[in-house]
Chains A and B, each alone.
Chain A
Amino acid sequence: MADAPAIASGLLPPEAYAANFDDLNPPLDRRAALVEASRCYFCHDAPCIAACPTGIDIPAFIRGIQTDNVKGAALEILEANIMGGACARVCPTEILCEGACVRTAQEGKPVKIGLLQRYATDWLFDRELQPFTREPSTGKRVAVVGAGPAGLACAHALARRGHDVVVLEKRAKGGGLNEYGIAAYKVAHDFAQKEVAFILGIGGIELRTGVELGRDVHLADLRREFDAVFLAIGLGAVNALKVPGEDLAGVLNAVDYIEALRQAEDKAALPVGRDIVVVGGGNTAIDIAVQTRRLGAENVTIVYRRGPAEMSATAHEQEVAQLNGVRIRHWARPVRLLGDGHVRAVEFEYTRLDERGRLAGTGETFHLAADMVFKAIGQLLSPDDLDGAGDGVELGRGKITIDADGTTSLPGVFAGGDAAAHAGQDLTVVAIEDGKRAAAAIHRYLTR
């Protein structure tokens, strides 16, 4: 038994869990918000606006904070981005608005736009104000499949225009990755559910949970029953390592563990290993690594096959991981998972770029002890999720083919979010913009 994998729960004192999964970036109080807002130059044709996928007029909302017109500021945000509260928490601002801020160029210190956006949206949420109203009913009905950011943004915009929306969600709660997939310390205190309630608060949106496309409903039926359909089903499958030993116990999908962690009432009950290896280079890799550290794992190592610049996790995210005691190793790829029923170690091969710039193994290897291995090498659209759809929706590059308005190959069927082959990265804020644009296109389609 001395060789039993070192997986345990309750490694930390009970009070540590609340602190470890509280806000990573605490909110600004009024004074701090006023000081920060005063740093905004209120630029003309501001680069931060152009850098925001939803095009929030950032200087305008910061002006509202400056003048204590916080309600006006919140509305400025929410008009452009109904999930501005979530985005204030989860956006990689360092590569979006804050990266573009003229103060970044001037002095390397952008205005803290994310925290200011949170200050304004929190103000409205704390007061439980519902600023949005619906236009008169059009009598049109739209089915939205998936209650993540794309689906909810689309549903809200359609409800505003007077259409009735039914949102079908396979999980028990709405919110998508905000509820199930993002690190707990980024969306703390049940914020995701508060935001879902705020969005539904406009009326005209019925959220049906536990309903899965391809299992409980079929696209052909939805097309018959509704005047339009928006597919925002996300990416349901996870890429495999495709190396021997992948089926050993203790080898897990990072997204599954994060989902369990997000839903766990008592984080102390979550089993976590002593030596953890995370394979991948994106935000999911960072999120699982930091969260297992915060559950008490002793050694957490992220291994990525290329260099720091190629990681899709931003430099800021990498820094967060390192500040949390996560070690990041670059230029290595797993070749074998070792164990006897349960994983014990991972064998990696060093990598480099060959003369033609392609990734190649050097033949040299090393081992990392592991009692838990997390796969975080990307997600993909699961064909199962569209199975039974009846009519085939055209796919390209493994995603649903759409045009700039979110129109698919099928009349009356639109798509957006991570499942769609959109132009932007797979970010919450991009999904919201997809939903917003698709809603405009659906509105035109319904009122044509």
Chain B
Amino acid sequence: MADLRCQIAGVRSPNPFWLASAPPTDKEYNVVRALRAGWGGVVWKTLGEDPPVVNTTSRYGAIHFRGHRMAGFNNIELITDRPLEVNLQEIKRVKKDWPDRAMIVSLMVPCTEESWKAILERVEWTEADGVELNFGCPHGMSERGMGSAVGQVPEYIEMVVRWCKQHTRMPVFVKLTPNVTNILAPARAARKGGADAVSLINTINSITGVDLDRMAPLPTVNGKGAHGGYCGPAVKPIALCMVGEIAKDPECRGLPISGIGGIETWRDAAEFISLGAGSVQVCTAAMHYGFKIVKDMISGLDNWMDEKGYRSLDDFRGAAARNYTDWGQLDINYEIVAKIDQDLCIKCGLCHIACEDTSHQAIAAIRDNGAKRYEVIDAECVGCNLCLHVCPVEGCITMVPVENGKPYMTWAEDPRNPQNLKAAE
């Protein structure tokens, strides 16, 4: 039994699996069901100033990818539409009843010091473990100068974080929007302002599709559509990249990260943690399957850690971040070539046509007495992996390292680099 206990920015939870600020954490009823199912903590759906917002009907869009439902998901829902006092009472009660679970309260108020100071005082009364500043919401609230409208301006982030740190003893998490060109700018601003941790990614600006009969973007509200926030399994690679960027940034060194974005399984969580995340936050997977999915997340992570000999999350946290580098640091001398296992090959020809039409013409299509056969031409293969990815048979195509005896060499060191050619002249 591995130790799954999690500590991030002073906030403790029995496991790293938290529910993200979203519809599943909108009220006591759902949150208690989640905690009962085993979730380590929750980030309560974003509170704002009264009067509460009003939502549209039709709120979610989804990408169903070739038979798999909700590979991507999008919403145009705003922050909580319930009165502040009701939420605060419930938060206080839940924290009292579930003292070992992390209770983080997501907040979004207008960009004035008074607004932030006022709401922080009221949240402190709940005895929650921390607050998360929602600088990420990309739709609706941003049109009112909040959410990602703040998160896209590093100076605003720094300013608001500074106010919050001044007016509360609670750890301050800053939830970052991915709708920026470089995630390091807002992350560094959060750190400069004194943030205790960052949470990312929030959702990505998106239109999930177009209703070609009504000629309107999806999801459609009475004939019109607005962009929403994209999430779910499809966004995981983007989220992993942004988490990794922050984890390896010298200016953000040591800044705790709560990882969010398409996390559905223990393996997803392990990937985020290995790239430096402290806790992970989940929403879409819970919205798809219910809270019970956490059971497999806990047991799967536990079993995997046992198998690997990791006793605690810290044993592998950030282990992959250390190998996350820039292209310029990669070994230009490393060589692999594709190998096709002829016994497993079902002769679908996808590897050949992918390579022939779009890559390096390195897989020959052979007719041997009428029988089809596909063979790698080693001399032409550049080891790009395309054939491996298109092959429908697991284990049929493998990439085999070539023992070329060459040392690890970066592009900067490579004699073919024009800089080096120039120097050699």
Contacts and interface: CB of A to CB of B under 8 A. Distances in A.
A38 B292 CA distance: 17
Contacts of B394: 30-31
B389 interface: no
Nearest to B395: A31
A69 interface: yes
Given A30-B394, A31-B394, A69 B290 contact: no
Interface string A22-53: 00000000110000001000101000000000
B265 A67 contact: yes
A72 B289 contact: no
B93 interface: no
Most chain A CB within 10 A, of B293, B296, B394, is at B296
Given A30-B394, A31-B394, A60-B292, A68 B300 contact: yes
A69 B266 contact: yes
Nearest to A74: B303
Nearest to A70: B303
Nearest to B300: A69
Interface string B243-286: 00000000000000000000001110000000000000000000
Interface residues of A, number: 15
A69 B302 CA distance: 9
A68 B265 CA distance: 10
Interface string B67-80: 01000000000000
Interface in B292-331: 292-293, 295-296, 299-300, 302-304
Contact of A69 (B68, B292, B299, B393): B299
A60 B300 contact: no
A69 B303 contact: yes
A66 B266 CA distance: 11
Contact of A75 (B68, B292, B299, B393): B299
A72 B303 CA distance: 7
A64 B292 contact: no
A69 B304 contact: yes
Interface of A is mostly: helix
**B interface residue count range (under 10 / 10 to 19 / 20 to 34 / 35 or more):** 10 to 19
Contacts of A30: 394
Contacts of B304: 69
Given A30-B394, A31-B394, A68-B267, A63 B293 contact: yes
A75 B299 CA distance: 10
Contacts, number: 37
A71 interface: yes
A30 to B, nearest CB: 7
Given A69-B266, A69-B304, A64 B299 contact: yes
Contacts of A67: 265-267, 296, 300
Contact of A71 (B265, B293, B295, B303): B303
Given A30-B394, A31-B394, A69-B266, A63 B303 contact: no
A269 to B, nearest CB: 36
Contacts of A38: 68
Nearest to B306: A71
Contact of B299 (A31, A44, A66, A72): A72
B345 to A, nearest CB: 15
B289 A60 contact: no
A56 to B, nearest CB: 14
B4 to A, nearest CB: 13
A353 B272 CA distance: 68
Interface in A65-105: 66-69, 71-72, 75
A72 B292 CA distance: 14
B296 A72 contact: yes
A69 B265 CA distance: 10
Contacts of A66: 265
B314 to A, nearest CB: 22
Contacts of A63: 293, 296
Given A68-B300, A69-B266, A72-B303, A60 B290 contact: no
A63 B299 CA distance: 11
A63 B295 CA distance: 10
A75 B1 CA distance: 14
15 contacts: A30-B394, A31-B393, A42-B289, A44-B290, A60-B292, A60-B296, A63-B293, A66-B265, A67-B265, A67-B300, A68-B267, A69-B266, A71-B299, A72-B296, A72-B303
Q: State the 6 A-B residue pairs at the shortest beta-carbon distance, nearest first.
A: A69-B300, A72-B299, A67-B265, A71-B303, A31-B394, A63-B296
Given A63-B293, A64-B296, A67-B300, 18 more contacts: A30-B394, A31-B393, A42-B289, A44-B290, A60-B292, A60-B295, A60-B296, A66-B265, A67-B265, A67-B266, A67-B296, A68-B267, A68-B300, A69-B296, A69-B299, A69-B304, A71-B299, A75-B299
